[in-house]
Amino acid sequence: MAAAIAIDGPAGAGKSTIAKKIAQQLNMIYVDTGAMYRAIGLYFHRLGVAPEDGETIGRLAQQAEVSIAYEGGKQQVYLNGENVTAFLRTEEAGNMASAVSVYPQVRQMLVRQQQKLAAVRDVVMDGRDIGTVVLPKADVKIFLTASTRVRAERRCEDLKSRGLPCDMELVEKDIIDRDWRDTHRAESPLRQAEDAVLVDTSDMTIDQVADRIIEIYRERQRPAAKTEKKEA
Ligand code: DC
């Protein structure tokens, strides 16, 4: 495995903003695994499949090919050859992603792809199961969290900055519901890995969080560098 930083945590904790920043500073690629689940969510939403129809979802999951590419340093997500990046950050895609991510067929397919990518590239990967399932041997594991109110405020700011409407109460309710589903599903529930560092971002700036994670990463790299020198 190449170098890897795993960042897990609930929706709106700041994972993607922080992970992107760290990836840039450490010259690694940023892998947003939530976007891959959102692409699958979009696939079933477009097909009109009910989220509780596990049998159909399990069967059709094999026909959805999700792949990622980097254009101008930015992650682009392809669904059966179509660039769907622009359609992924809506509440519908997010809710559908959360609903279909409970099915093992969906998870297995995406986890395999994420592991393949991390085997050949230095990655900062964020999601729900990165430290526990996808990259259990990651160099650094971070569990990012923040209060539901702060997370709802951040989600609204994000939606508004893209010209989309936002109902704060509704967004906070969605976050609470999604947290419950993500932490209670049988397959790879969201939980902090035993060796992950917990970082509550409610009262921290983006730069403070990014600097803290980079510091942890460098501290972990240092003992290895010393050993190498001694051996030389
Ligand atoms: O991080 P996000 O909000 O873009 O993720 C959308 C949904 O995808 C989230 O509710 C849970 C699911 N997900 C997952 O189950 N495992 C991951 N590694 C990433 C996301």
Walk me through the domains of the chain, giving residue ranges and CATH numbers.
4-231 (3.40.50.300)
Residue with CA at minimum distance from ligand 1 atom 12:
98
Which residue type is seen at 167? D
Gap from CA of 83 to ligand 1 centroid (Å)? 19
Counting from 1 in the atom list of ligand 1, the atom nearest the Cα of 89 is 4
- Side by side, the strands of the sheet bearing 123-127 are 29-32, 123-127, 4-8, 140-145, 197-200
The reply to whether ligand 1 has any atom less than 6 angstroms from the CB of 113 is no
**Cβ–Cβ < 8 Å for 131, 143:** yes
Q: Which residues pair with 82 in a beta bridge?
A: 79
Residue with CA at minimum distance from ligand 1 atom 16:
128
Pairing between β-strand 140-145 and β-strand 123-127 as defined by DSSP bridges: unpaired
Residue with CA at minimum distance from ligand 1 atom 14:
128
Residue with CA at minimum distance from ligand 1 atom 1:
34
Helix (H) or strand (E) holding 78: strand 74-79
The reply to whether ligand 1 has any atom less than 6 angstroms from the CB of 178 is yes
Gap from CA of 228 to ligand 1 centroid (Å)? 38
The model's pTM is 0.88
Helix ranges (H only) for the chain are: 15-26, 33-47, 54-60, 91-100, 104-120, 148-161, 168-184, 206-231
Q: Give the burial class of 134: count Cβ atoms within 10 A of its Cβ; 0-12 exposed, 13-18 middle, 19 or more buried.
A: buried
The reply to whether ligand 1 has any atom less than 6 angstroms from the CB of 98 is yes
Rounded-to-integer distance, Cα 177 and Cα 136, Å: 27
The reply to whether ligand 1 has any atom less than 6 angstroms from the CB of 33 is yes
Residue with CA at minimum distance from ligand 1 atom 13:
34
Per-residue pLDDT of the chain (232 residues), as tens digits, is 699 999 999 988 999 999 999 999 999 999 999 999 999 999 999 999 999 999 999 999 989 999 999 998 889 999 999 999 999 988 888 889 989 999 999 999 999 999 999 999 999 999 999 999 999 999 999 999 999 999 999 889 988 998 999 999 999 999 999 899 889 989 889 999 999 999 999 999 999 999 999 999 999 887 655 555 555 4
